[in-house]
Amino acid sequence: MEPEYELFVEDRNVTPFLLHNVSRSIAERSTKYFGKTPSDILQFTEGKVKWYAHSKEFEQYAKLITSVVCDKPETLIEFNRSYKKAIEEMRAFSKKLYVRNLTKLSTAELWEIYLSGVEKYEKVYEYGIIPFFADSGQTSQLSANLKEKLSHYTKDANIAFITLSNPDKPSQMLLEEKNLMQLALDSNNVNQNSSAIKKHQKEFFWLTFGYEGPIYSIEEIWKRICELRQNKDLKELLEKNKNYAFEVKKEQLELLSKLKLNKKIMQAFRITREWMLFKELRKASFFAAYVGFDRLAGEIAKRLTVSKSDVKFLTKEELKSALFENTFPSDLKQRKINSIYYYKNGKFNIITGTEAQEFIKDNIKPTEEENQSIIRGQVAFPGIIKGTVKIVNEPSDMAKMQDGDILVSSATNPNLLPAMKKAVAFVTNVGGITCHAAIVAREMKKPCVIGTKIATKLLKDGDLIEVNADIGEVRKL
């Protein structure tokens, strides 16, 4: 039997601590709005994670979501309202967990915090996975469908699509930068020990954390403020930041007045814009959750006299047994080296070692890695530019970035923003129009090609390439 699962997401510095719960949760219960989600597999190998989904199920599910967005967008108003509420509840929980004194809590109280947090995380994930399915994979079906509809109104469907799908509210990145620039301009009252900087850190502590840290420190914030104070155009940049959402809305209204789209298409774009905004808010809530759960895992590890990574490789049931019975699975060490987490026939399974390797061979489609000179993907923001490749997958890679380089990544996250600011263009393996790289590219107005699948495998540091984000191609020179 041919392998039926395909690689859709890969990342680094990741443990199963929260991820295996959501994979299992979604498999066990159908989503309220779209039924059963595609089957998936999680693989963890020495700090890296790969997420595979059943190819045919993925495409069928994407078609279902796309048809609802494009043909019955009014039915998703309540979905988006519930999605936003779930994100807000997750963020509120995470902020409280970040400052809570865990050492004074009983073991039972730690367990209750864990259960409460996992429940909120699962809820956000259950909503957030829907936009991902709609616009990832081979065809990016939501984007393709909306562009096709726009083609009946304009010859520049790609540009119109980018304009109309752009969120008309500021992202977390813009909000953080605005606050930082305001602090930088207040040179008389703001220094490294100011309460204003501590307040900023309390609001955006999660920004650089990713899955495993470190948090956004007072020292890093002060360093950025000092750098901003060297910029003679700081006031102009602040005004541009403040006006960003207004200018986006203005551009959209001007385009809509020319195109005269029907009500359904306009509603579909409203849903899509909200999904793009929620994707970034969702990521912020997750990063904040990872900070709090990292602290929680650390406290549990101390009480159990094991490593924090040991705790993060336990399932929900195993963590409960460890806390109250001091028992641990025998394969815990092997899980960190190579482990597979998957759900099948009503049962959640974990396999390791040779069995895990054979499972991958039998179930996962091999990745195409031909020696090709042209790489194709989806346009996130248009433009044509040449530059030198720098592969940046995690914060430790950012030191090699120089102004004018092209950032190539499996997928970007908020903790890679310093490198993205130096880059003249972005290229990613995965992602659709709601992904982080697409959102940042639009705000920074930098050419961006997403969903190439193979960019980090075919390109290497130092390669000279041309990114043609007008047509979604990346060419080696």
User: What confidence category does residue 175 fall into, taking pLDDT thresholds of 50, 70 and 90?
Assistant: very high
User: What confidence category does residue 298 fall into, taking pLDDT thresholds of 50, 70 and 90?
Assistant: very high
Q: Flag whether pLDDT at 211 surpasses 80.
A: yes
The rounded percent of the chain whose pLDDT value lies above 70 is: 96
pLDDT tens digits for 252-278?
999 999 999 999 999 999 999 999 999
User: What confidence category does residue 313 fall into, taking pLDDT thresholds of 50, 70 and 90?
Assistant: very high
pLDDT tens digits for 393-407?
988 899 999 999 999
User: What confidence category does residue 139 fall into, taking pLDDT thresholds of 50, 70 and 90?
Assistant: low
211 and 13 Cβ atoms separated by less than 8 Å? yes
* Candidate CATH numbers 3.20.20.70, 3.90.1150.10, 3.40.50.300, 3.50.30.10; the one for domain 374-476: 3.50.30.10
Residue 344: the pLDDT is 78
Residue 134: the pLDDT is 87
Greater pLDDT, 20 or 164: 164
User: What confidence category does residue 26 fall into, taking pLDDT thresholds of 50, 70 and 90?
Assistant: low
pLDDT tens digits for 107-117?
999 999 999 99
Greater pLDDT, 47 or 166: 166
CB-facing half-sphere around the CA of 92: CA atoms within 13 A: 8
From the number of C-beta atoms within 10 Å of its C-beta (0-12, 13-18, 19+), residue 336 rates as buried
Q: Flag whether pLDDT at 121 surpasses 80.
A: yes
Q: What strands lie across the sheet with 5-12, from one edge to the other?
A: 5-12, 48-54, 40-45, 339-344, 347-352
Instruction: Locate the domains of the chain by residue range.
Output: 5-140+298-363, 172-258, 374-476
Q: Flag whether pLDDT at 369 surpasses 60.
A: no
Residue 209: the pLDDT is 92
Greater pLDDT, 108 or 29: 108
Instruction: Give me the mean pLDDT over the 128-138 stretch.
Output: 80
Count the helix, strand and coil residues of the chain and give each as a percent rounded to the nearest 5. Answer: 55, 15, 30
Q: Flag whether pLDDT at 346 surpasses 70.
A: yes
pLDDT tens digits for 277-296?
998 899 999 999 999 999 99
Residue 138: the pLDDT is 55
Mean pLDDT, rounded, of the chain: 91
Identify the CA nearest to 14 among candidates 281, 419, 290: 290
Instruction: Give me the mean pLDDT over the 417-433 stretch.
Output: 92
pLDDT tens digits for 440-451?
999 999 999 998
Instruction: Give me the mean pLDDT over the 80-86 stretch.
Output: 94
Residue 25: the pLDDT is 65
DSSP state of 261: -
Residue 137: the pLDDT is 60
Identify the CA nearest to 299 among candidates 94, 92, 119, 107: 107
From the number of C-beta atoms within 10 Å of its C-beta (0-12, 13-18, 19+), residue 169 rates as middle
Greater pLDDT, 31 or 70: 70
Q: Flag whether pLDDT at 367 surpasses 90.
A: no
CA 246 to each of CA 250, 251, 253, 421, 444: distance values in angstroms, whole numbers, following the listed order: 6, 9, 11, 22, 15
User: What confidence category does residue 373 fall into, taking pLDDT thresholds of 50, 70 and 90?
Assistant: confident
274 and 435 Cβ atoms separated by less than 8 Å? no
Instruction: Give me the mean pLDDT over the 84-92 stretch.
Output: 95
Residues near 229 by beta carbon (within 8 Å), at least 6 away in sequence: 184, 187
DSSP string computed for 379-430: EEE--EEEEEEEE-SSGGGGGG--TT-EEEES---GGGHHHHHH-SEEEESS
